[in-house]
């Protein structure tokens, strides 16, 4: 039964459908593992034992009657602590929201419950989702699977750790600047960032609503595709027959290939070679509009984040970790004309980008330029924290700025991912390509 903890969500669902696994037994195995694991206090902010058991019993009854609602009916997953959940604290990793208990589920959690998935609980995260590192001295800092003394990546840090440590079959997170993909990459998982506006954010604690997206952290691309369908309440894309033969990739050079650390660079180059061996065509791409868009990021992200949370922060600023509080405050001085002008310019740059990459099936880049930093060193704050946080989110931010779906895949080198970016609202095509790439990468 311990093997169940590291099976893909799809394989667990198929085993339930075949009668080899009972959802009640499966959920009990996960809950027992959660209760016994030494890292659980650093991973889960709340474990919903009663809800999980009730949902598992209902899934078991449906399975026995041949009335399963889908392949993932009865599969237990975790939820980042910014998705509202009825009667369970949802505090977005912040002491500012301590004691916040919603009266209803977020829409995506309601959709998942309707599809029969089992909610194991809520996972720790960066404060108000405004950090790519996953360091949170105000609540808890989840551990990286490859180094317990390093951060797990943020802001969906606990979501990634729950899956990597065998404490959930998958995790649901959010991504505003890289918050699904960074922790997925650093914990050797698949992470899907969806196009802004595609998946409902109703009932989700916001950071910067124009950039906020919802997406899964999983063991496989198949799981990501199935969970995307669950979150949206629709059918999953058919991944059968996916191939890289003749697929045309652009390997982005602008910005994302500078200041790479040695290990991520070697992992990325080795991964692209495997994609070429599988029949893909890869061409270098220079896109000056990305460099310009990066220069707008501080205005766009920080101003909206501070506009959303400034009053709450200033009412009790000592409840925040200083570097994250300072990052919010960096948006305080942005004027309305500056904000509007930046958005207008970004819309132009998005059109330039779309025209430039129209002939490619996807764009490639290293997911993160660096490896997970040591948590103790980050706690010292100062320039090191700021520099590592900005570097961590640099590459992933491309997809948020250009409003693209993006997926990170493990390269086989610990804590190193390769990212594939598709066309806006083109998740189905991207998932098929990623499924074939996953096979090529082994």
**Annotated active-site positions, please?**
80, 155, 179
The answer to whether the CB of 341 falls within 8 A of the CB of 101 is no
How far apart (Å, rounded) are the C-alpha atoms in residues 424 and 442?
A: 27
Q: Which of helix, strand or coil describes residue 283?
A: strand
CA distances from 32 to 22, 118, 321 (A): 15, 15, 33
* Distance in angstroms (rounded) separating the CA atoms of residues 97 and 91: 5
Q: What is d(CA 24, CA 136) in angstroms, rounded to the nearest whole number?
A: 34
Cα end-to-end distance, the chain, whole Å: 25
Cis status of the peptide bond prior to 318, with omega within 30 of 0: no
Cβ partners under 8 Å of residue 187, min gap 6:
144, 145, 146, 152, 153, 160, 161, 163, 164, 217, 415
CA trace torsion 435, 437, 439, 442 (10° rounding): -130
């Amino acid at each position: 039964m311990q093997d169940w903890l590291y099976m893909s969500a799809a394989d667990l669902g198929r085993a339930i459908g075949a009668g080899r696994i009972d959802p009640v037994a499966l959920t009990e195995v996960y809950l027992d593992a959660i209760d016994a694991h030494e890292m659980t206090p650093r991973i889960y902010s709340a474990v919903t034992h009663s809800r999980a058991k009730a949902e598992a019993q209902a899934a078991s009854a449906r399975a026995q009657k041949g009335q399963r609602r889908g392949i993932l009916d009865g599969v237990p997953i975790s939820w980042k602590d910014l998705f509202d959940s009825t009667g369970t604290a949802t505090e977005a990793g912040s002491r500012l929201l301590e004691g916040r208990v919603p009266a209803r589920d977020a829409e995506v959690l309601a959709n998942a419950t309707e599809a029969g998935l089992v909610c194991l609980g809520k996972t720790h995260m960066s404060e108000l989702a405004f950090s790519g590192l996953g360091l949170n001295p105000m609540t808890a800092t989840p551990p990286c699977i490859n180094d317990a003394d390093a951060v797990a990546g943020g802001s969906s840090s606990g979501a990634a750790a729950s899956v990597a440590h065998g404490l959930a079959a998958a995790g649901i997170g959010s991504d505003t600047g890289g918050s699904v993909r960074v922790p997925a990459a650093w914990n050797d998982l698949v992470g899907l960032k969806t196009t802004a506006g595609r998946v409902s954010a109703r009932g989700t604690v916001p950071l910067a609503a124009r950039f906020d997206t919802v997406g899964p952290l999983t063991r496989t691309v198949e799981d990501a595709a199935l969970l995307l369908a669950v979150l949206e309440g629709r059918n999953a894309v058919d991944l059968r027959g996916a191939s890289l033969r003749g697929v045309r990739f652009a390997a982005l050079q602008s910005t994302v290939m500078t200041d790479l650390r040695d290990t991520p660079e070697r992992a990325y180059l080795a991964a692209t070679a495997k994609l070429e061996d599988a029949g893909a065509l890869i061409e270098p791409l220079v896109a000056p509009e990305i460099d310009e868009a990066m220069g707008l990021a501080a205005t766009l992200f920080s101003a909206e984040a501070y506009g959303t949370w400034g009053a709450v922060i200033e009412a009790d600023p000592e409840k925040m970790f200083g570097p994250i509080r300072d990052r919010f405050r960096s948006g305080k001085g942005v004027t309305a004309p500056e904000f509007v002008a930046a958005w207008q310019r970004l819309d132009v740059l998005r059109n330039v980008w779309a025209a430039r990459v129209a002939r490619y099936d996807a764009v490639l880049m290293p997911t993160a330029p660096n490896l997970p930093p040591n948590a103790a060193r980050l706690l010292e704050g100062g320039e090191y924290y700021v520099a590592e946080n900005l570097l961590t989110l640099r590459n992933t931010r491309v997809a948020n700025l250009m409003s693209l779906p993006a997926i990170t895949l493990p390269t086989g080198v610990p804590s190193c991912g390769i990212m594939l970016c598709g066309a806006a609202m083109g998740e189905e095509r991207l998932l098929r390509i990623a499924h074939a790439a996953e096979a090529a990468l082994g």
